[in-house]
Amino acid sequence: MTVEKLIEAKLPKRVEYMRIIIMELSRITDHLVCNSVIGVDAGALTGFIYVFEEREKIYEIYEEICGARLTTNIGRIGGFERDFPQSAWDKLYKFIEDFPKVLKEFESCWYATASLWTELLVPVLLALKEL
């Protein structure tokens, strides 16, 4: 995007939207892993494994888009090398439909163990504050 600004490239709105979709999917996978790994540190592996299934669904969308699972290699200066295939859109719509329920279930795991998190994290935060 920096080079595009430098050369004052005008991109179609569709390209901007497609980039945002990829970036937001990446952000979701990052937050799923980061938030669930805290549970692993406290001995709660179930939530971590549970959200990995959702991460896998996002990786399948990436794979449909560009053939890679972890890196989205489709982006180019000035846009994309190709449009998203219909199969990627289908998986994306399915993910958007299903993910809110999964997120609520994952959040309920956090709320059910709120006292555990308070007991584990508050002393750490207080110790860091003293540094």
Return the half-sphere exposure (C-beta side, CA atoms, 13 A cut-off) of residue 23: 8
pLDDT digit string, tens, across residues 63-93: 998 888 777 777 778 777 788 999 999 999 9
pTM of the prediction?
A: 0.77
| 3 Cβ contact list (under 8 Å, min separation 6) | 9, 77
Whole-Å CA distances, 119 to 5, 46, 113: 48, 20, 10
Highest mean pLDDT among 8-12, 34-38, 53-57, 76-80: 53-57
